[in-house]
Chains A and B, each alone.
Chain A
Amino acid sequence: MVFEILSYGFMHRALISGIAIALMCSIVGLFLVLRRYSLFGDALAHAAFGGIAAGLFFGIYPIWVAFGVSVSSALGLTKIRQKFQISGDATVAILLSSGLAVGVVLISLSGGFTVDIFSFLFGSILLVSLENTILILGLAGSILIIILLLYRQLVYTTFNEEQAKVSGIPVEKLNYLLVTIAGITVVSSMQLVGILLISSLIVIPNVTAMLFSRGFKQTAILSMTFAVSSVVTGILASYTFNIAPGGMIVLISIVIFSVSLGIKSAGLIKNKTIIPSIKQV
């Protein structure tokens, strides 16, 4: 059965795109979660929805408009937070509702789109084209390389901005880079789980990994493992049982999280060191 599923071309594209998106979302998400930006991805996805609607309304390829809107919203939001000292959750709420409002207004002005807007809302990874697969692979590869090259600076800035600044790290530039990467990640991931479920891919694998791991690298590797497992199992299960892949992927990641919580609360695995401690001073 599994071998039969894996022989289809659309399944190859779905799995390759899905794995690339899972890797990208989990590593970018780790930085967002630790900066308390967990809902930032959700806000950018809703802004991208406005971009999708604008693209469809004006007859421009919607994904490109969504990229533009998502990245400019991410940069604008960061600038507003810095300049006007508005709290993070309030700016996220503003962006989230304005993106959705623009989308709803444009949809009603057009009298409804012929293109299935539900594919953007809930994802359609099994329908991903070869061109989009290549685009997703290119973006995911570039983002992973950037993160690897700037790994220490990004971790340090996430840990403590003030100390990173004193060490000569260009904190503000890195912050803008990270939100730009987040904007690109969100739009790339829309085809996998859809606008409404994106934040789950960014948040759940990381929170699950943090239950077990002690170090940053360990957390990143565990998070990527959980994300890839959820995506692969979700795609295969969704085809087998004829269920929407987006919802299936998120449900599987929630199952992994719940089982992890159970293991953790039962005390089967501890994330504390097993090295004998010296006298506590």
Chain B
Amino acid sequence: MLMKVVEIENLTVDYQGILALDKVNFSVESKDFLGIIGPNGAGKTTLFSCMLGLLNNYKGEIRFFGTSIKKSKKYLGQIGYVPQKPAFEKNFPATISEVVGMGLTKNSKKDKIDEVLQKVWLHELSHRRIGDLSGGQQQRVFIAKALVNDPQILILDEPVTGIDSQSKELFYQILLDLNQKENITIIWSSHDLDAVAKLASKVACLNRTLFFHGISEEFFHNEDLLKMYSESSMQMHMHHHED
């Protein structure tokens, strides 16, 4: 039986009377490739913020490797995080090597930078300024940075938003390789149902509450679940417009 690396129990986040997450329960097993889907405002980024220790005023329990994240922040050393679109000054004077090196801990070896850049096919551009790269290339740099400390889990928050389709394909191939060849557990939120159906081994459907969590095929081959998901997304869409 595979080890549970993440356990979420009754996770509830209340933003001044508005429930962003309502009693969310699920777990992630080692080597899972979990796709978290849900419309805008469904609580995906809030969920990640709680998991990454950026948001602390939640109810419920989050455990990484069996330990509550409220008790210890050591788990962060085992996690690589790729945000939606990292905000940084366009003219920030940092080379790709320097950006990847920011993720290094004291004990890491500097040759790890070249190693992870090779994994994302950017080793020949390591002396370029980060702001000179395309959006797709920048996201690959952030994957490399997330990998530099050999994490067991990679968390990606809608990482391909605004990226062209060719770059997306390469990005997805890198994720598959990391999961299948290097056994890295991947937790990835996305709007792209086709990509999730193709890549993820498991799916979590979130719309403030979790209404499905299980094997990917079970979700994508179930007409009722898909219908429920699209209706729920539509309601959320309408709700946003009313707001």
Q: List chain A positions with a Cβ less than 8 A from chain B.
A: 34, 36, 152, 155-156, 159-160, 162-168, 209-210, 213-219, 271-273, 275-278, 280-281
CB of B134 within 8 A of CB of A280, answer: yes
CB of A159 within 8 A of CB of B94, answer: yes
Contacts of B41 in A (CB 8 A): none
Q: List chain B positions with a Cβ less than 8 A from chain A.
A: 52-54, 73, 76-77, 79, 81, 83, 86-89, 91-95, 97-99, 101-104, 121, 124-125, 127-129, 132, 134, 136-137, 145, 166-167, 170
Contacts of A219 in B (CB 8 A): 93
The CA of A210 and the CA of B34, in the complex, are separated in Å by 41
The CA of A273 and the CA of B92, in the complex, are separated in Å by 15
CB of B166 within 8 A of CB of A281, answer: yes
* A-B contacts, 23 listed (Cβ < 8 Å): A152-B102, A152-B104, A159-B92, A160-B88, A162-B87, A163-B102, A165-B53, A166-B53, A166-B81, A168-B73, A168-B76, A210-B93, A214-B129, A215-B93, A215-B94, A215-B98, A271-B129, A272-B128, A272-B132, A275-B125, A277-B128, A281-B136, A281-B170
CB of A216 within 8 A of CB of B94, answer: yes
Contacts of A152 in B (CB 8 A): 101-102, 104
Contacts of B54 in A (CB 8 A): 162, 165-166
The CA of A167 and the CA of B124, in the complex, are separated in Å by 26
CB of A273 within 8 A of CB of B127, answer: yes
> Contacts A275-B127, A281-B121; is A159 near B93 (CB within 8 Å)?
no
Closest to B106 in A: A152
CB of B98 within 8 A of CB of A34, answer: no
Q: A216-B93, A281-B136 are in contact. List 10 more A-B contacts (CB 8 A).
A: A156-B102, A159-B99, A162-B54, A168-B73, A210-B93, A214-B128, A215-B93, A216-B98, A273-B125, A281-B167
Closest to A220 in B: B93
CB of B124 within 8 A of CB of A34, answer: no
Contacts of A159 in B (CB 8 A): 88, 92, 94, 99, 102
Contacts of A214 in B (CB 8 A): 93, 95, 127-129
The CA of A276 and the CA of B83, in the complex, are separated in Å by 29
CB of B93 within 8 A of CB of A213, answer: yes
Contacts of A167 in B (CB 8 A): 76, 102-103
Closest to B124 in A: A278
CB of B125 within 8 A of CB of A278, answer: yes
The CA of A200 and the CA of B102, in the complex, are separated in Å by 29
The CA of A165 and the CA of B102, in the complex, are separated in Å by 12
Contacts of B77 in A (CB 8 A): 168
Contacts of A281 in B (CB 8 A): 121, 134, 136-137, 166-167, 170
Shortest Cβ gap from A218 to chain B (Å): 7
Shortest Cβ gap from B157 to chain A (Å): 11
Q: Which of A155, A159, A209 has the most CB of B within 10 A?
A: A159
Shortest Cβ gap from A102 to chain B (Å): 34
CB of A215 within 8 A of CB of B95, answer: yes
Shortest Cβ gap from A265 to chain B (Å): 16
Contacts of A34 in B (CB 8 A): 89, 92-93
Shortest Cβ gap from A222 to chain B (Å): 9
Contacts of B94 in A (CB 8 A): 155, 159, 215-216
The CA of A163 and the CA of B103, in the complex, are separated in Å by 9
Which 10 pairs between the two chains have the least Cβ-Cβ distance?
A: A219-B93, A156-B102, A215-B95, A214-B129, A273-B128, A168-B76, A166-B81, A278-B124, A166-B52, A216-B94
Shortest Cβ gap from B63 to chain A (Å): 18
Shortest Cβ gap from B232 to chain A (Å): 29
The CA of A196 and the CA of B101, in the complex, are separated in Å by 38
The CA of A218 and the CA of B125, in the complex, are separated in Å by 17
Closest to B95 in A: A215
